[in-house]
């Protein structure tokens, strides 16, 4: 096959600015279009890029100045002879052979983070000219890490996003916007010595942000026992999809979390399949959306759950409660239906209000996720147990309405961290006791008595009255068009959920063994 050379430039940072990131992602993706004609599928191409980009970024990490290293004894992520430099010295068939040797050798390290990253890795780009051009012309000329050697991940995740969009069903990865992750971590404010987990970690965004927060605030204290704990299990995650978990391990290693030969900090398993074996101070999560279980389990064996349901998010709420230590705290992204669904939903919300201090709800606007139309919230609660005299743990739930009359899109007006500054300030105003908070036009409390008296303990609360008529008059046509698309996608998502529930019920009724059909990968949303 004959392919045209990709547009190459002199070496420059791949992520020096938003524009260069977008340009690089487009360039990588355009090359993917060419590779399709040589029999390399879109998903195979994205997978191969993750291997190659990891090797390149590990090489950059090894070459960074000493002041950016944790200590002088820090070992390279990839051993010599299996690294990026060894690829650059070979051409043609010898390059293909050596790349395949690297994948096999690095994957043959059971029980280690590096081995888990490359487990069952196979080369899918067998044409020597294509592989050589990809390595030497497309990836090598660019620096993939920033000046302080902290992988920002915009281009990396942008490429994965394009992979998700390429399939009508999506690749199932709804990345949590980085500004939202950072704001949630700022609110929870992890402390050195605390254990942190994400039971549905995706590519590891929450874990990496929590680690970055600790490094920024405790940099001078990370060279002793606490620093070693941070590298060997204080921050861990769980992920159902092996390919996604592999990306999380890559991201963690490149961010200095764990070491190549250490035990993997990401466990590949269905978090909901059994009660937790370990308990944590902090849980940060954006659980998968959908109904039922990919493995066909109905979780009837979870005797530690308050109520049985096929709603994944409701099950994750119960699971996260059980993951927390006493006085542990959680921040979870949840769709609207978790706030108002009846039956098991009402029972779970009642138990949560009684046994936890459910103190803050952030209502999110649409247009901030890669899946447009998703209506979501962030629920914050502390596992305190009932107060003295058997009184419920929740005193009042403060609701911050960041949805009403707020417009964001992924391109024209993306969410930025400063957009959440007011919420974070309001959240912190109570200094942990939630009594000194001040009511505002977007922020107000609902007492426990008010909440429990609502039909089905409905927590779908709105603070502001919409000024949509006046806003619409000022909105541009493209914004109005996007809002229409968002509303249609919300409706489609709701119909899809109903259809899956009906399909699940039919499968349960006809399958004597109780095995349900495996759901599409699109349900593994992050």
* Same domain assignment for residues 42 and 158: yes
294 and 440 within one domain? yes
Alpha-carbon span 319 to 322, nearest angstrom: 5
Region 101-120: mean pLDDT is: 93
Domain final position from 165, 186, 210: 165
- Whether residue 42 lies inside any domain: the answer is yes
- Of residues 435 and 376, the one with the higher pLDDT is 376
CATH classification of the domain holding 398: 3.40.50.150
Residue 502 covered by a domain? no
Does residue 485 form part of some domain? no
The alpha-helical segments, DSSP class H, found in 255-359 are 312-323, 337-340, 344-355
SS3 sequence, 435-502?
CCCCCCCCEEEEEHHHHHHCHHHCCCCCCCCCCHHHHHHHCCHHHHHHHHHHHHHHHHHHHHHHHHHH
Residue 392 is predicted with a pLDDT of 94
* pLDDT at 299 (0 to 100): 55
pLDDT of residue 174: 54
Please name the residue that has the structure tokens 């459910």: 358
Read off the pLDDT of each residue in 328-354 and give the average, rounded to a whole number: 96
Residue 153: left if φ>0, alpha if ψ -120 to 50, beta else—which one?
left
Q: Sorting pLDDT into bands at 50, 70 and 90, what band is 165?
A: low
Same domain, 218 and 141: no
Please count the other Cβ atoms lying within 10 Å of the Cβ belonging to residue 326.
10
Residue 487 tokens, joined: 């509303």
Residue 72 CB contacts under 8 Å (≥ 6 apart), including other chains: 66
Q: What does the chain come to in residues?
A: 526
Assess whether 96 and 152 both reside in one domain: yes
Residue 160 has pLDDT above 70, yes or no: no
For the segment 40-49, the average pLDDT, to the nearest whole number, is 75
Residues 178 and 146 both lie in one domain: no
Is residue 220 located within the same domain as residue 189?
yes
pLDDT the model gives residue 43:
67
Assess whether pLDDT exceeds 50 at residue 7: no
| Residue 228 lies inside a defined structural domain of this protein | yes
Count structural domains, the chain.
2
Residue where one domain finishes, among candidates 132, 165, 198: 165
Residue 486 belongs to some domain of the structure: no
pLDDT value at residue 285: 97
Provide the domain limits for residue 67: 12-165
Confidence band of 502 (pLDDT split at 50, 70, 90):
low
Q: Is the pLDDT of residue 463 over 80?
A: yes
Q: Do 292 and 426 belong to one domain? A: yes
Q: What percent of the chain has pLDDT over 90?
A: 44
- Residue 233: band (very low, low, confident or very high) from pLDDT cuts 50, 70, 90: confident
Give 202's Cβ-side CA count (13 Å radius).
26
Final residue before a domain boundary, out of 477, 500, 519: 477
- Do the domain assignments include residue 147? yes
> Domain check: are 366 and 292 in the same one?
yes
Question: Residue 157 maps to which CATH number?
Answer: 1.20.1260.30
On average, the pLDDT of the chain sits at 79
pLDDT at site 310: 87
Cα–Cα dist 72/254, whole Å: 17
Residues 299 and 446 in one domain: yes
467 is a domain residue:
yes
Q: How confident is the model at residue 61 (pLDDT cuts 50, 70, 90)?
A: confident
DSSP state of 374: -
Listed residue (230, 270, 269, 271) closest to 252, CA to CA: 230
- pLDDT of 262 reads 85
Q: Is residue 514 part of a domain?
A: no
Q: By mean pLDDT, which of 21-30, 175-184, 397-406 is the weakest?
A: 21-30
Residues 126 and 194 in one domain: no
pLDDT value of position 325: 96
Q: Kindly state whether residues 130 and 235 are assigned to the same domain.
A: no
Q: Calculate mean pLDDT across residues 212-232.
A: 81
- Do 122 and 103 share a structural domain? yes
């Amino acid at each position: 096959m004959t392919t045209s050379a990709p547009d190459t430039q002199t070496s420059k940072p791949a992520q020096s600015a938003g524009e260069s990131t977008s340009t690089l992602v487009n360039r990588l993706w355009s090359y993917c279009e060419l590779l399709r004609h040589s029999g390399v599928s879109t998903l195979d191409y994205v997978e191969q890029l993750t291997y190659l980009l990891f090797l390149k970024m590990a090489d950059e990490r090894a070459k960074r100045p000493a002041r950016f290293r944790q200590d002088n004894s820090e070992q390279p992520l990839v051993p010599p002879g299996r690294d990026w430099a060894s690829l650059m010295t070979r051409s043609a068939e010898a390059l293909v052979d050596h790349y395949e040797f690297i994948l096999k050798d690095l994957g043959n390290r059971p029980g280690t983070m590096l081995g888990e990253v490359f487990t069952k890795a196979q080369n899918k780009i067998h044409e020597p000219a294509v592989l050589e051009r990809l390595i030497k012309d497309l990836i090598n000329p660019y620096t993939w890490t920033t000046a302080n050697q902290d992988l920002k991940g915009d281009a990396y995740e942008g490429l994965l996003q394009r992979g998700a969009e390429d399939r009508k069903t999506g690749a199932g990865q709804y990345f949590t916007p980085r500004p939202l992750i950072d704001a949630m971590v700022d609110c929870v404010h992890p402390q050195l010595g605390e254990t942190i987990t994400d039971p549905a970690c995706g590519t590891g965004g929450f874990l990496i942000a929590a680690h970055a927060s600790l490094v920024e605030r405790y940099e001078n204290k990370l060279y002793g026992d606490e620093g070693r704990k941070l590298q060997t299990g204080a921050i861990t995650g769980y992920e159902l999809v092996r390919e996604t978990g592999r990306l999380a391990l890559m991201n963690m290693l490149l961010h200095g979390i764990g070491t190549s030969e250490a035990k993997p900090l990401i466990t590949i398993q269905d978090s909901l399949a059994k009660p937790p074996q370990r308990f944590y101070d902090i849980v940060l999560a954006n659980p998968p959306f959908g109904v039922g279980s990919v493995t066909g389990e109905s979780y009837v064996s979870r005797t530690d759950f308050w109520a049985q349901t096929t709603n994944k998010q409701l099950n994750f709420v119960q699971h996260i409660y059980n993951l927390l230590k006493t006085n542990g705290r959680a921040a979870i992204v949840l769709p609207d239906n978790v706030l108002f669904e009846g039956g098991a939903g009402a029972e779970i919300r009642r138990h949560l209000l009684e046994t936890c201090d459910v103190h803050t709800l952030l209502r999110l606007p649409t247009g901030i996720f890669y899946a447009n139309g998703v209506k979501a919230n962030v629920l914050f609660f502390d596992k305190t147990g009932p107060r003295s005299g058997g009184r419920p743990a929740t005193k009042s739930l403060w609701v911050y309405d960041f949805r009403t009359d707020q417009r964001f899109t992924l391109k024209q007006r993306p969410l930025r961290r400063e957009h959440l500054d007011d919420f974070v300030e309001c959240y912190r105003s109570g200094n942990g006791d939630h009594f000194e908070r001040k009511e505002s036009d977007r922020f107000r409390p609902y007492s426990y008595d008010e909440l429990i008296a609502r039909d089905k303990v409905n927590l779908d609360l709105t603070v502001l009255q919409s000024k949509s008529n006046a806003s619409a008059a000022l909105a541009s046509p493209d914004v109005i068009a996007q809002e229409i698309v968002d509303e249609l996608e919300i409706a489609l998502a709701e119909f899809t959920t109903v259809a899956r529930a009906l399909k699940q019920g039919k499968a349960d009724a006809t399958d004597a063994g109780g095995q349900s059909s495996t759901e599409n990968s699109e349900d593994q949303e992050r």
